[in-house]
Amino acid sequence: MKVGDLRDRLAAAMASGMRRPEPEAVALTADRAKAMAVALAGLDASADVDPEALTVGTRQVAIILGFHPEHVRRLIRTGRLRASLVGGDYRVVLSDLWPFLEVRYRRPGRRRIMARH
């Protein structure tokens, strides 16, 4: 899929999400669109990407989740966030961030995300 087409789809998803009556659904849609937009930042609109294979570095993960980069590295080292080391920086598959975004909008109770294996 072309980056430009994916950006258009993100804009359409945001427009659709803004019409939902549940505030949690609106917020989650906005968070996911933001995550995708951060992953696509700097890519040429004509470039081909696989949305399921998009990866982001620790700094981008920190921006997406609102964490400090060192906290992201700590999540990786403790196994709570799956990542691979590429060229001295960790790379995280974007879809592995969805549980971290979804936990923000769950009902009170157990909110901790367990280690992924």
> Per residue in 24-36, pLDDT tens?
888 889 999 999 9
> Model-level pTM?
0.82
> Per residue in 78-99, pLDDT tens?
999 999 999 989 999 999 999 9
CB 98 within 8 A of CB 32: yes
| pLDDT interval class at 117 (50, 70, 90) | low
The residues, any chain, with a CB within 8 Å of residue 3's CB and separated by 6 or more, are 40, 43, 44, 45, 46, 47, 48, 49
User: Is the model more confident about 9 or about 105?
Assistant: 9
Look at residue 114 and tell me whether its pLDDT is greater than 80.
Answer: no
> Per residue in 43-83, pLDDT tens?
999 999 998 999 999 999 999 999 999 999 999 999 999 99
